[in-house]
Amino acid sequence: TTTSKERGMTRILITGGAGYIGSHTAKRLSHYGTETVVYDNLSRGHRDFVKWGPLIEGDLRNATLLRETLRWFKPDVVLHFAAFAYVGESFSNPGLYYDNNVGGTVALLQAMHVAGIDKIVLSSSCATYGQPDHVPVTENTPQRPINPYGMSKLMMEQICADFERTHGIRFVPLRYFNAAGCDPDGEIGERHDPEPHLIPRLFMAQDGEIDALDIMGDDYPTADGTCIRDYIHVNDLAEAHIKAARYLLEGAGSEAFNLGTGRGASVREVIEVAAKVTGKAVPHRIAARRKGDPAILVADASKARLILDWSAGKSDLAHVLETAWTWYEKDRRK
């Protein structure tokens, strides 16, 4: 049963809604009866992930199409997921990240201003913090990115702040930690080409799709020498976006929130749980550290719990891996 607050979100535009997190959020919104439109250029999204509303196929920097979409649909809130998100690629091609992530955000905010739309939930990242001095990471931790991807996300936040000061566009940046897991119903999931993320790659190693999972460094200052990350189920992230949109619709001011579980798992621990979940060993080998990887990233998400009434209730690591494995098997066996 939907509440009056949930029914109040009648129209939401989802940029990048054909991607991993955006598509899961669209599905969650459909449960609340919210009308959604996905705006995506499909450069990295998937047409078959758009199931809960129409798709407008276009780039954010196509000012004419974007403004026409906003005038036609008249969204109450924009959820902005359209950005590239690979740390390694951001080092090899930083211009791509600044052009797409920063340029796309500027174009979107300009179009929103012209259309009179003044609320946006921004997909940000814990990568804006860089190598934090202390963990868990709070929203007051200094933002000092150590890779172009993190810098592009920080710039997106700063640009939103400028548009709020000048044009009154209120915004909520959600700083995710490590998105993982998939829709338990198996309708959508994680699909990247090439696939850079740990959990799908360990399944690929189990399946013989790659020779072995490369553990990028085992000499970090952690208990087992491998990086520690805070893995959060994609459906918990989706729910956070819905609560952030509701927060803005209720008239609240701009605020940043961390999204995570507050619990870290090392690469070796993820491998161990994956082996238990799937019943298969994970072939792995040690490789060199990846440039731009902090040793430990764990969230303090108490602010989101207090203000948004949100918690990562679906993010038990075994559940994350079970849902990811179910999707992997289904998607690879098509």
CA angle, residues 106, 108, 110, in degrees to nearest 5? 70
| Angle formed at CA 205 by CA 204 and CA 211, multiple of 5 degrees | 120
CA 159 to chain centroid: 19
| Residue of 290, 3, 308, 321 whose CA lies nearest to 146 | 290
Closest C-alpha to 79, from 42, 134, 46, 34: 34
Give the span between the Cα atoms of 196 and 203, in whole angstroms: 12
Residue with tokens 């119903």: 185
Terminal CA-CA length for the chain: 35
176 classed as catalytic:
no
What letter represents residue 43's amino acid?
Answer: S
Q: What is the DSSP string of 33-76?
A: T-EEEEEE--SSS-GGG--SS-EEE--TT-HHHHHHHHHHH--S
Can you tell me which residue has the tokens 């196929």? 57
- Residues with Cβ within 8 Å of 175's Cβ and at least 6 positions away in sequence, in order, are 124, 125, 126, 128, 129, 139, 256, 257, 258, 259, 299
Q: Which two tokens stand for residue 20?
A: 């991993």
Residue 232's contacts (CB-CB under 8 Å, 6 or more residues apart) are: 176, 177, 178, 179, 180, 259, 260, 261, 299, 312, 315
CA angle, 24 as apex, 78 and 270 as ends, to 5°?
125
Catalytic residue, from 149, 231, 247, 328: name it: 149
Cα dist from 323 to 97, 274, 277, 315, 326, whole Å: 30, 11, 10, 11, 5
Catalytic residue positions, numbered: 149
